[in-house]
Structure 1
Amino acid sequence: MSDTYVIYPKIIDELLENPGIGFIAAPGLMEPAGAIHDNRGNPVEKYKFTHSSRTFNHPDSRITYCGVRWRDLEVEKSSYRWDILEKKLEEAKASGCTAIVRCSPYALAEEDDIPDWFRRECREEPEFPFWRVDPLHSPYVTYWSEFIAEFAEHFDGHPVISSVDMALVGAWGEGGGTEFLEEESIRRMVGAYIDNFKITPLQALLHDPKSVKIIRERKENIGFRVDCLGDMGGFHQEEWSHMLDFYPENICNFEMEAAWKKAPVVFEACWHMNDWYLQGWDIDYIVEESLKWHISSFNSKGTIVPEAWKESVKRWLNKMGYRFELRKLTYNPMVKKGDVFRIRGLWANTGVAPIYHRYPLVVRLKNGKEVISFTSRTDIRSWLPDMDILWEEEFDLEGKAGEYSLEIGIETGIPELGNIKLAIEGLKDGYYCFGKIIVE
């Protein structure tokens, strides 16, 4: 590339809040008027992760969890209230967040039962502790599969949804008793998700080898979710724990160690982080293991992060999910109108996971009178960690002659979310400015 201009952007190490990654939002800790308490009700001193944080004792977030109940959405057989979920997604968007969504079939409390129309048809409840209805001797599998197909038809590709949990059976859809189902029943429910969600990423509960094997048979891009991160022996002391036994063994046993390359890995805290702290568990070990498993987001259940762990958690956040650096930019600074504008960038993803939505990379030429935008053909979902990413492109240059500023941004298309923040200096109104270009 002759007559070119070369820029080496300045890399920054500050916290970046971006959609789809990081700690799940903690609304109760956002600008609280009164005192802050830990999960056991004890008052704690207020602190912030950054000077501009809206959230106290917890990092700011661009991702939230959105749980909805089957009984609320399918109020009568084949009669749906999708507006309930839409309202929750609008609330997430208004707070600047994308959402992980799970539709749960039921939970343990009476008010979390299966839909009333289904209960009228099936009045008996099984003795198995995590079921409200017996999927072996009722139409549960048929009804739930039909519901999921309708759910996908209305919400696949929804711009606010980061990913969807594949709930099959059990309280809160967390898989209790999946291992007792017939394989054909599991395949039908799995198919309801995979056959109908073609755009929105999915993650499966890493619960039992039977269901995960059936999910893998489909050879689709499915991530995983697990809900006891941090447990270093809270159930069985030194004999067994999630961190030392279940996760490192079963991520491999279930052959899900490469799932992160195409779909999210989502963790939820076992108890709360404050409990880990009081138990004296090693936060740095927990962080490093989760990063090794390519975590994208973490549900802290909306409770405090112990201040003594602030720096460890900041280091965690700077690796969790994706983190894009533009390390070198080369372009031709003088172009004749109607000619080709050439640009080349050397990128790096210094996080531990890719981005799972195909947000467009946009190049803009801007002055006081005109904005000329070019949308790149590159698919940023292929920008994996620990690799050099060379981006080269040519654009046919139209527009008025004059001097322009060269800007680059990754657009989400949602004003409340804004553009993706890069780990470099130069951000202005969602775009990064790199220099001048003259159109002759």
Structure 2
Amino acid sequence: MKRRFLFLAVALLGISSLKAQEQPVQIRVKPIEIHDVLNNPGIGFTTFQRFNGDSLNAGEGWTEGLPILYQKFDGNLTNKNHPQTTIAYFRVDWKYMEPEMEKYNWPMIDKALRTAAERGQTLMLRIAPYEAGEKDVPAWYRKLVGPEDKNQSAKWRIDPEDPRYIQYFGGLIQALGQRYDGHPDLESVDVSIVGYWGEGDGSHLLSDQTRLALLNCYLDNFKKTPLTFQPLNGDAPDPGVIVKGTNISASWPDGRNNGTGTQMRYLGYRVDCLGDMTTDLWPEKHWSHMTDIYPKDIVKSGMSEVWKKAPVTMEICYTFLHWLQTLKYDEQTVDYIFGEALKWHITSFNAKSSPVPEVWSPLVDKWLNKMGYRYVLRRFEYPSVVTRQGQLSYTSLWENVGVAPIYKDYKLAVRLKNSHKTLVLPTCAELLNWLPGDIVDEETLYIPFDMPLGKYQLEIAIVSPVSFEPRVKLAISGVNKDEWYPMGEIEVKDQK
């Protein structure tokens, strides 16, 4: 009896050991972090009135508001003395968009969108109502409303309270949204309603009715393409009243606005004078943007938490060469400016297609490695063996070492590939919620019943939700020629 019991115990132990041996080994991968500058969608520097591969502005100056002067392209996308970019920013005046009443220059926008796509970029767009100097409203509109009234607000060239302003400038914006909203090559559109260069000066002087009508031309017609608002003008006694009567105000710290419809979405914001450090530039106001306006108004405008849901984009005050040659900024000053921009969660930056001085190139590279999102995969763990019609459960630890999340609806995907079969398995990871810091992503994917048996390479990537092609470079080594990141080998077996 004892001998029989001992035999049974040994047999059970053998079966248990056999089952233990059949359990798949867990593969643990710890990728190596890299510190290269990554040219990723929607973040980093932008070109301005230009595209990748074009020559830059000479000296300290720049151009804006005019139609793009297309340069001869030799096929080389390299930007000399300027970072590579994924965004081309185009700012053009109303007079060029509507040279005749209600006859819109769509070919100008179509060509800009097409060229941006050909150069590996998306287009960021602003239609400005007018500028200073001779860059007036369209000639036909000037004839319609008469000459400038020098007694009206110095903020405006024409009276925005005139119903014809909403009818025609607002009508252009409505038509723009109806034609281009959701266009895959359109990165974002600036909400431009009044003021020189469309920067919003005097917005707080508008009546609620006019302000809301102009804002809703954007909100009701751009429901897919992101919108970027500019609440920080430095001209209002309280920036919260710039948009009083809407949900973009100090009483709505998440920056939401639902227009007149039922949709609810988030608006990003932009600032147009990053780097202004001296009150000497504004002697009549005794303030600078960096030390007086932005730190206060970002909070008071109710936009300080917007970065969690919508992008923050910034534009240089003057140019880098102006900083270096005229303002005599030193490295410490530039580092401070960059640090403040990171504190405000900058995602993209317009340097006005001006060269980056070689002496500041290391600072710019360091800045770019923090701007927007930057994903480091710290660990990835998965089973060495899976079965057809079975589960592939993985766990991963990531870190976003940037200052913002991604705002594009991309997908994290797992790919199994060998010489005979390629299978892409999209995950349910919510990348829009991958804020700076640690991220744990654990999921169970399923292997199809007809998956061919054999060994595969397991790879990961952040991909387009439509084509499943990789879109985002990770800050880890080992990317292959297909721009996927191999994690190791996995075997697909049949169920027993």
Once residues 281 and 372 of structure 2 are traced to their aligned partners in structure 1, the CA distance between those partners, rounded to angstroms, is 29
- RMSD (CA atoms): 2.8
Amino acid at match of 1:211: I
Sort the Cα spacing of 1:79 and 1:374 in 2 relative to 1 into closer, same or farther, 3 A: farther
Determine if the alignment matches structure 1 residue 165 to structure 2 residue 190: yes
Amino acid at match of 1:288: G
Instruction: Give the alignment of 1:383-422 within 5 angstroms.
Output: 383-386=434-437, 388-398=438-448, 399-412=451-464, 419-422=471-474
Instruction: Give the alignment of 1:118-267 within 5 angstroms.
Output: 118-127=141-150, 128-205=153-230, 206-207=232-233, 208=236, 209=239, 210-213=241-244, 214=246, 215-216=248-249, 219=257, 220-233=265-278, 234-236=280-282, 239-267=286-314
Once residues 384 and 461 of structure 2 are traced to their aligned partners in structure 1, the CA distance between those partners, rounded to angstroms, is 19
Which blocks of at least 5 consecutive residues in structure 2 are unaligned? 1-22, 63-75, 258-264
- Asked whether the 8 Å contact 2:454–2:492 carries over to 1, the reply is yes
- Asked whether the 8 Å contact 1:364–1:408 carries over to 2, the reply is yes
CA shift for structure 1 position 292: 0.4
Once residues 67 and 144 of structure 1 are traced to their aligned partners in structure 2, the CA distance between those partners, rounded to angstroms, is 15
Which of residues 32, 35, 39 is equivalent to 2:60? 39
Larger radius of gyration: 2
Offset from partner CA, 1:350-371 (integer Å, 9 cap, x none): 1111111111222211112221
Sort the Cα spacing of 1:430 and 1:337 in 2 relative to 1 into closer, same or farther, 3 A: same
Sort the Cα spacing of 1:25 and 1:184 in 2 relative to 1 into closer, same or farther, 3 A: same
Determine if the alignment matches structure 1 residue 273 to structure 2 residue 312: no
Once residues 354 and 285 of structure 1 are traced to their aligned partners in structure 2, the CA distance between those partners, rounded to angstroms, is 23
Once residues 267 and 382 of structure 1 are traced to their aligned partners in structure 2, the CA distance between those partners, rounded to angstroms, is 22
Determine if the alignment matches structure 1 residue 99 to structure 2 residue 128: no
The alignment partner of 2:363 has SS state of helix
Percent identity over the alignment is 39
Once residues 263 and 277 of structure 1 are traced to their aligned partners in structure 2, the CA distance between those partners, rounded to angstroms, is 32
- Asked whether the 8 Å contact 2:52–2:79 carries over to 1, the reply is yes
The alignment partner of 2:47 has SS state of coil
Amino acid at match of 2:453: A
Sort the Cα spacing of 1:141 and 1:294 in 2 relative to 1 into closer, same or farther, 3 A: same
1:346 aligned residue: 397
The alignment partner of 1:56 has SS state of coil
- Asked whether the 8 Å contact 1:204–1:212 carries over to 2, the reply is no
Once residues 402 and 28 of structure 1 are traced to their aligned partners in structure 2, the CA distance between those partners, rounded to angstroms, is 46
Offset from partner CA, 1:223-254 (integer Å, 9 cap, x none): 21111111110414795211111111111121
Once residues 272 and 29 of structure 1 are traced to their aligned partners in structure 2, the CA distance between those partners, rounded to angstroms, is 18
The alignment partner of 1:436 has SS state of strand
Which of residues 19, 24, 29 is equivalent to 2:46? 24
Offset from partner CA, 1:174-219 (integer Å, 9 cap, x none): 1133222111211112222223322222211122422244333654
Instruction: Give the alignment of 1:313-324 within 5 angstroms.
Output: 313-324=364-375
Q: TM-score, normalised by structure 1?
A: 0.88
> 153-162 or 346-355: which moved more?
153-162
CA shift for structure 1 position 40: 6.9
Once residues 441 and 25 of structure 2 are traced to their aligned partners in structure 1, the CA distance between those partners, rounded to angstroms, is 19
Matched length: 425
Q: TM-score, normalised by structure 2?
A: 0.79
Sort the Cα spacing of 1:336 and 1:24 in 2 relative to 1 into closer, same or farther, 3 A: same
Which of residues 430, 433, 445 is equivalent to 1:379? 430
- Asked whether the 8 Å contact 2:41–2:471 carries over to 1, the reply is no
Determine if the alignment matches structure 1 residue 325 to structure 2 residue 373: no
Once residues 275 and 253 of structure 1 are traced to their aligned partners in structure 2, the CA distance between those partners, rounded to angstroms, is 30
Determine if the alignment matches structure 1 residue 426 to structure 2 residue 449: no
